Amino acid sequence: MFENIQVAPADPILGLNDAYRNDPNPNKINLGVGVYKDELGATPILKSVKQAEERLVATEKTKSYLSIEGTEAYRQAVQELLFGAGHDVIAKQRARTAQSPGGTGALRIAAEFIKKHLPGATVWVSNPTWANHQAIFQSVGLEVGSYAYYDAATKSLDFEAMLASLSQVPEGDVVLFHGCCHNPTGIDPTTEQWAQLAKLCSKQGFLPLFDFAYQGFGSGLEEDAAGLRVFLDQVQEMLIANSFSKNFGLYNERVGGITVVCETAEHADAVFSQVKRCIRANYSNPPAHGAAVVTEVLTDPELRSLWEMELQAMRTRINEMRNLFVSTLRAKGVEQDFSFISHQNGMFSFSGLTPDQVAQLRTDFGIYIVGSGRISVAGMTKDNMEPLCEGIAKVLAS
């Protein structure tokens, strides 16, 4: 039965990681996968997370199943982080959150819910977007369309084109927005632009789906939620897939949430009951540990302030690397203007390097960048900056 099955193509991002691992070059540099690295090139466990884990190990009493939707304390903590404590949506019980296995698990549940309950809806994603978006929606049989986003010529958001394509989206379709720190471009709408998008959404009648995987990596926890909250002022219904992989460094614990916002608490009850059915037929109930850690950190004032400091330190280090990258390239005599990289948000930048240049960086210098030219700035350190910029300068000059 299996003899005719062909080998699947390697994942564009995770496949690169494998190639990096197998490269014997001692000076290799990995700027592929979106995983935070510290100045030593390590991805450490946050102190706040470690302390929460120590408490949990000492006090945990059972490994029995969680409910389909996860723990109440976690679900509440997620909503407060997304909307801000005391937000009207919380007070009116218009939102329901289920704990999910990472942001990917949340997106997959959103996809199944859309497929089942919004028949005929197409999901629109930005051009470009995270490579897994298409796969997740298509895997449940949804049509995926793309809307204009990035202007390669100016290396910025083509907001006019974005508005023009979104005004073609029919009522009842779904539009995915990156809550902040757009992956792969690092370019987000401004608050004013978010307000225009929300207005358009309300006029067109499409459903916004926020993919919120980097809260706190842009400007701050509150600042990064501005787009989502501007939408909440204008629209009654929304889906949100959030992840704690990056901002808690809990990548392999798989912790996130799927949140539905409805017009009324009654609608929310009905919608959420269907979301729970999707979960039940998928992974049944979520893993407990990561979410317990997040709950402990978010609800304990001491751990919370430690976490916020650690998150700020990650954000600051990435921004320092952005500036150092731009200035080191300049010092290496690169004439092309890379200053746009200093103004982008989060882990990623679209470098504008061509697929040929990306390939040359890899074969000649052991520098690994995603084929699209996306650079994970979080992989840069003071130690690898010189060889990195040296390699890029040589490739650009060749």
Q: Which residues bind ligand TYF (CB under 6 A)?
A: 13-14, 33-34, 104, 130, 183
Please enumerate in sequence order all residues whose Cβ is within 8 A of that of 169, keeping only pairs 6 or more positions apart, or say none: 124, 145, 147, 175, 204, 206
Q: Which of residues 263-302 bind ligand PLP (CB under 6 A)?
A: none
Residue 216, CB half-sphere, CA atoms under 13 Å: how many? 20
Q: How long is the chain?
A: 398
The neighbour count for residue 54, using CB atoms within 10 Å, is 10
Q: Enter the tokens of residue 228.
A: 């989502």
Which residue is nearest to ligand PLP, using beta carbons? 102
256 binds, among ligand TYF, ligand PLP, none (CB under 5 to 8 A by kind): ligand PLP
37, 211, 224, 307: the catalytic one is: 211
Residues with Cβ within 8 Å of residue 175, at least 6 apart in sequence: 123, 124, 147, 166, 169, 201, 206, 207, 208, 209
Rounded Cα distance, 272 and 110, in Å: 11
Smallest gap from residue 41 Cβ to ligand PLP (A): 19
Q: Answer yes or no whether residue 247 interacts with ligand PLP by CB under 6 A.
A: no
Catalytic residue among 37, 155, 246, 307: 246
Token representation of residue 2 = 């299996």
Contact partner at residue 243 from ligand PLP, ligand TYF, none, CB < 5 to 8 Å by partner kind:
ligand PLP
CB distance 109 to 98 below 8 Å: yes
**Shortest distance, CB of residue 246 to ligand TYF, whole angstroms?**
9
* Closest CB 256 distance from ligand PLP, rounded Å: 5
**Residue 307 designated active-site:** no
33 binds, among ligand PLP, ligand TYF, none (CB under 5 to 8 A by kind): ligand TYF
Closer to ligand PLP by Cβ: residue 35 or 334: 35
DSSP string, 300-327: SHHHHHHHHHHHHHHHHHHHHHHHHHHH
Active site residue 23: no
Which one from 130, 158, 224, 307 is the annotated catalytic residue? 130
Applying CB under 6 A, the residues found at the interface with ligand PLP are 34, 102-104, 130, 178, 183, 211, 213, 243, 245, 256
Active-site residue set:
130, 211, 246
